[in-house]
Amino acid sequence: MSADVLLAHDAPRGAIPQILWAPWCASSTLACAEQVQAVAEATQPPLLLHGHWHQFQQVRLPGQDTEVIGLFYRRDTKELDGP
């Protein structure tokens, strides 16, 4: 199975913004991130877009050619924010 683009609410486990990763993360969040990670590993998309963390990021999944982009919506300007 393969995919061109994967769109998910949560980030895959390998791309959760490290500044936000903490032991207090809810177990449901971790479980969701693990599920997204499993789908990304199974489908190997070149591009994975996600929200949830309210922080822009652009990273590659470790050991994959998948570029992960975390989208950040600015409520004050009603725009997506990025670099």
With a cut of 60, say whether residue 18 has pLDDT above it. no
Instruction: Specify the 3-state DSSP secondary structure of 73.
Output: strand
With a cut of 90, say whether residue 27 has pLDDT above it. no
Domain that holds residue 22: 5-81
pLDDT band for position 60 (cuts 50, 70, 90):
very high
Please check whether residue 63 is in contact with residue 43, taking contact to mean a CB–CB distance below 8 angstroms: no
Report pLDDT for 79.
60
Q: From CA 60, how far away is CA 70, in angstroms rounded? A: 11
Q: Which helix (H) or strand (E) holds 74?
A: strand 72-74
Mean pLDDT, all residues of the chain: 81
